[in-house]
Amino acid sequence: MDMAFKHRLIAGVVFAWAGFAHADAQLDRAMQDPGNWAAQAGDNYNQRYSSLKQINASNVGKMQAAWTFSTGVLRGHEGSPLVVDGIMYIHTPFPNNVFAMDLKTQEILWKYEPKQDSAVVAQMCCDTVNRGVAYGDGKIFLQRADSVLDALDAKTGKVVWSVKNGDAKLGAVNTNAPHVFGDKVITGISGGEWGVRGHLTAYDIKTGKLAWRGYSNGPDEEMLMDPDKTVTWTDGKLAPVGKDSSLKTWKGDQWKTGGGTTWGWYSYDKELNLVYYGTGNPSTWNPSQRPGDNKWSMSIWARDLNTGKVKWVYQMTPHDEWDFDGINEMILADIDVKGKKTKALVHFDRNGFAYTLDRTTGALLVAEKFDPAVNWATHVDMKTGRPQVVAKYSTQQNGPDVNTKGVCPAALGSKDQQPASFDPKTGLFYVPTNHVCMDYEPFEVEYTAGQPYVGATLAMYPAPQSHGGMGNFIAWDAGKGKIAWSKPEKFSVWSGALTTAGDVIFYGTLEGYLKAVSLKDGKELWKFKTPSGIIGNVFTYMHQGKQYVGVYSGIGGWAGIGMAAGLEKDNDGLGAVGGYRDLQKHTALGGSLTVFALPD
Amino acid sequence: MKPALLCSLTVLLASVAVPATALSEGPLYTVVEGYKVDANTMQGFRTWRSAACDRCHGPNQEGLVGPSLIERLKVLTPEEFKTTVLGGRMAKGMPSFGENTKVTEHIDQLYAYLKGRSDGAITRAKVVEIEQ
């Protein structure tokens, strides 16, 4: 027996006795088989990497569409299907239908159509995306728009249990994929534009019983924070957060409607038993109305899977003034950071900075711009961990009813939820990005329960004095904080990337192309025009000895809005040509899945 | 001749007052220099912002996920406009604002503002109130 393995085995037994989370055996086994795509990112680390290499850099040019499937739903299609042991699980945006398909016969084994009040659509403005289902314990977990979390029998599609995760009438809706870690299903909440108080919640995988809920803001006990034990980056080292670390940073009880929602992709380190995720913007978008750092919105979190207790937390954008939600995926990878082998967490934030932290301790190691257009801050002070805001682009300093112009990135960030991928061979990250700037005008708003609580008007457009496009696909060295290569794109790249052992990276574009590029230098090797713009994530699996690569098409989501917002600014006049009109030349609505393979 | 005359008057005075039809007495909206509006229309603009209509219809009403209101208000009657906003058009993704008191109380003002934008009389989305 391999000693390291033996050691892990013993450690595992000890952990189990000590009451550590029991791994879900079915999911663990399914994830170990590279023929499956058993979790939204393929694994618990959000690496979006597959060891399959039948399709590789030398033959990908011959790849062809193998089969297609219409989801029957329009609007934005985010996330991806799952594949477990020859069955594919396909989801749709609202009304959140789920299909189970036998890959051998392509027969639909079951279809689940949840009954949801369509009024929930009103709380989801401006699109009805859903980022996919999760698998574990013989069940498929669906986090519906109306906040109900359904556990379905993976064999029959019958509801095993169902739990309400929030009050949709108050804007607490869901777009995120649930995640199965150990014996729990983890889910978040949306509604930062409705004044929803964010939280991360764990349910028992077998029964749906609430295991814990940790809020993003408010009293220590409701955040599951220990003032003495929970640490954060302070003066160049980690120090306890102290008592009332959130309450002290809000005016009065504004934290109750303070946002910090949690609609991204979570990750899990089994050895550390920690769950990682990010929190979104503080509500409202008018910063003058909510003085203070608004902790712990815009933060990276590490919580114990069993108890939800916060081990460490780090706020990236204190007192947000631009809607730079911190929810993007946390990628766990063991990489060289400044010459030292590190158990790292890498995060590409909406605010345009890429962060590398020590995922064990929460220490801040690297924070650098991953798009040279980023201008709202000069840099992140590595001692305090705070961004150094440029006065000209501060919507707080310019005040309400003043239009702050030329802020880069735009509110949708240098990158939004579209997840990046990692390659263990190169040690680099491959990142779909936005290259968009904005004018931002905050205004006074009043909170009314269940009504929009936004408080800013935005106009977005391609980054000026650049290549004219709205996106880049980049390779990033997270140990050095440097771009390795960058491939310009006409539109924002709003599709999750996939890296494979075949030295090929895949991503989709808003025009609807699925592209295969070289791992080495980003050179385009192959592309195919799918039925609609791609905002879904690329996935791969093996069936009967053949490797397949698939992706959803279906334009929508905020990407569509971003494009549209590029149409004109106030003084451009109506009917101006711009990004959106251009996008209309390339694609139209339509939800479908396209699956590719090499010819026989 | 009459439209031309009205047009030249408009240019001369840089002001438009459009008669209301069924909604209320007096002009539907009054606008000076394309962006200074009466108190009623100003309230319509505030309603537009507070209900965050721009998230779907665009910061300049040009349309995003939702249709261009510049175009739609050329077609919809005031009554159809009210029905659409207060009742929603779920199949198309348009939510109902029937329970949003900021909207229900100011639906006529909202119509006035958007109609002014659609008519081309209000030349930019952001307006200010005419100084008394």
Structure confidence at residue B15 (pLDDT): 62
**Phi and psi at residue B24, in whole multiples of 5°?**
-160, 175
Name the percent of chain B lying above pLDDT 90: 58
Contacts of B8 (CB under 8 A, 6+ apart): none
Q: How far is B78 from chain A (nearest CA, A)?
A: 22
What DSSP letter does each residue of A219-240 carry, written as one string?
Answer: SHHHHT--TTT-EEEETTEEEE
Q: How far is B43 from chain A (nearest CA, A)?
A: 14
Mean pLDDT value across residues B54-83: 90
Per the CB < 8 Å rule, is A560 touching B64? yes
Contacts of A310 (CB under 8 A, 6+ apart): A214, A223, A224, A225, A226, A230, A301, A302, A303
* pLDDT beyond 60 at B23: no
Q: pLDDT digit string (tens) for A462-497?
A: 899 999 899 999 999 999 999 999 999 999 999 999
Comparing A96-100, A177-181, A568-572, A596-600, the range with the smallest average pLDDT is A568-572
Angle between helices B78-87 and B107-119 (to 10 degrees): 120
Residue of B52, B58, B93 with shortest CB distance to A454: B52
* pLDDT beyond 50 at A303: yes
Buried residues in A29-48 as b, exposed as e (16+ CB within 10 A): ebbeebbbbbbbbbbbbbbb
Residue A88 pLDDT level (bands cut at 50, 70, 90):
very high
Q: How far is B59 from chain A (nearest CA, A)?
A: 6
Residue of B59, B95, B96 with shortest CB distance to A457: B59
Structure confidence at residue A567 (pLDDT): 44
Counting Cα atoms < 13 Å in the Cβ hemisphere of A140 gives 30
Structural tokens at position B66: 């939702």
Structure confidence at residue A434 (pLDDT): 95
Cβ-based burial of A593 (10 A; exposed 0-12, middle 13-18, buried ≥19) = buried
Is there a contact between B50 and B100 (Cβ–Cβ < 8 Å)? Answer: no
Per the CB < 8 Å rule, is B52 touching A452? yes
Cis, peptide link before residue A296, omega less than 30° from 0: yes
Higher pLDDT: A78 or A6? It is A78
- From residue A17, alpha-carbon distances to A142, A514, A531 in Å are 31, 47, 52
Residue B56 pLDDT level (bands cut at 50, 70, 90):
confident
Is there a contact between A432 and A497 (Cβ–Cβ < 8 Å)? Answer: yes
The number of beta carbons lying within 10 Å of the beta carbon of residue A221 is 9
- Residues from chain A that touch B99, judged by Cβ atoms under 8 A, are 450
Q: Which of A585, A577, A557 is nearest to A492 (CA)?
A: A557
In which element (H, E) is residue A565 found?
Answer: helix A557-565
The amino acid occupying position A301 is W
Angle at B110 between CA B109 and CA B116, to 5 degrees: 90
* pLDDT beyond 90 at A112: yes
Of the residues A118, A123, A126, A563, the best mutation for testing chain B's interface (the one with the most B CB atoms within 10 Å of its CB) is A126
* pLDDT beyond 70 at A180: yes
What DSSP letter does each residue of A127-174 carry, written as one string?
Answer: -------EEETTEEEEE-TTSEEEEEETTT--EEEEEE-S-GGGT---
Comparing A119-128, B46-55, B71-80, the range with the smallest average pLDDT is A119-128
Map residue A62 onto helix, strand or coil.
helix
ipTM for the whole complex:
0.78
* pLDDT beyond 70 at A541: yes
Mean pLDDT value across residues A262-287: 97
Angle at A473 between CA A335 and CA A324, to 5 degrees: 80
Mean pLDDT value across residues B41-45: 97
The number of beta carbons lying within 10 Å of the beta carbon of residue A298 is 30
The number of beta carbons lying within 10 Å of the beta carbon of residue A276 is 27
Q: How far is A567 from chain B (nearest CA, A)?
A: 8
Is there a contact between B92 and B99 (Cβ–Cβ < 8 Å)? Answer: no
Of the residues B35, B65, B96, B118, the best mutation for testing chain A's interface (the one with the most A CB atoms within 10 Å of its CB) is B65
Average pLDDT along chain A = 92
Within A191-294, strands assigned E span: 199-204, 210-215, 231-234, 237-240, 267-269, 274-278
Per the CB < 8 Å rule, is A441 touching B124? no
Structure confidence at residue B62 (pLDDT): 85
Out of A137, A150, A323, A371, which one is annotated catalytic? A323
Mean pLDDT value across residues A382-397: 98
The number of beta carbons lying within 10 Å of the beta carbon of residue B9 is 11
Structure confidence at residue A126 (pLDDT): 63
Active site residue A381: no
* pLDDT beyond 90 at A200: yes
**Phi and psi at residue A10, in whole multiples of 5°?**
-60, -45
Q: How many Å apart are CA A368 and CA A323, to the nearest integer?
A: 19
- The 8-class DSSP code of residue B31 comes to E
Q: How many Å apart are CA A519 and CA B101, to the nearest integer?
A: 55
Comparing A317-331, A384-398, A581-595, B118-132, the range with the smallest average pLDDT is A581-595
* pLDDT beyond 80 at A18: no
Q: How far is B95 from chain A (nearest CA, A)?
A: 4
Per the CB < 8 Å rule, is A568 touching B60? yes
Task: List residues in chain A touching B: CB distance below 8 A.
Answer: 75, 118-119, 121-123, 125-128, 193, 403, 441, 443, 445-446, 448, 450-452, 454, 457-459, 556, 560-561, 564-565, 567-568, 570-571, 574, 580
In chain B, which residue's Cα lies nearest the Cα of A579? B64
- Residues from chain A that touch B93, judged by Cβ atoms under 8 A, are 75, 121, 128
Q: Which of A416, A453, A444, A452 is nearest to A431 (CA)?
A: A416
Task: Tell the residue number behind the tokens 């609430």, with chain if given.
Answer: A210
* pLDDT beyond 90 at A135: yes
The number of beta carbons lying within 10 Å of the beta carbon of residue A100 is 23
Sheet containing strand A404-407, strands side by side: A404-407, A436-442, A456-462
* pLDDT beyond 70 at B16: no
Task: Tell the residue number behind the tokens 């964010």, with chain if given.
Answer: A198
Structure confidence at residue A227 (pLDDT): 98
Q: How far is B24 from chain A (nearest CA, A)?
A: 27
Mean pLDDT value across residues B13-41: 78
Residue of A445, A454, A568 with shortest CB distance to B62: A568
The number of beta carbons lying within 10 Å of the beta carbon of residue A482 is 13
- From residue A117, alpha-carbon distances to A114, A120, A524, B92 in Å are 10, 6, 44, 15
* pLDDT beyond 70 at B25: no
Q: Is the Cβ of B93 closer than 8 Å to some Cβ of chain A? A: yes
Name the percent of chain A lying above pLDDT 90: 85
Structure confidence at residue A122 (pLDDT): 76
Structure confidence at residue A12 (pLDDT): 43
Per the CB < 8 Å rule, is B59 touching A565? yes
Is there a contact between A145 and A130 (Cβ–Cβ < 8 Å)? Answer: yes
Residue B94 pLDDT level (bands cut at 50, 70, 90):
confident
Per the CB < 8 Å rule, is A126 touching B59? no
Q: pLDDT digit string (tens) for A225-259?
A: 999 999 999 999 999 999 999 999 999 999 999 99
Judged by CB atoms within 8 Å, which residues 33-72 of B form the interface with A? 49-52, 54-56, 58-60, 62-66, 70
Q: pLDDT digit string (tens) for A436-467?
A: 999 999 999 999 998 889 999 888 888 999 99
- The 8-class DSSP code of residue A285 comes to S
Q: Which of B83, B75, B80, B85 is nearest to B110 (CA)?
A: B85
Angle at A226 between CA A223 and CA A229, to 5 degrees: 140
Q: pLDDT digit string (tens) for A259-270?
A: 999 999 999 999
Q: Is the Cβ of B78 closer than 8 Å to some Cβ of chain A? A: no
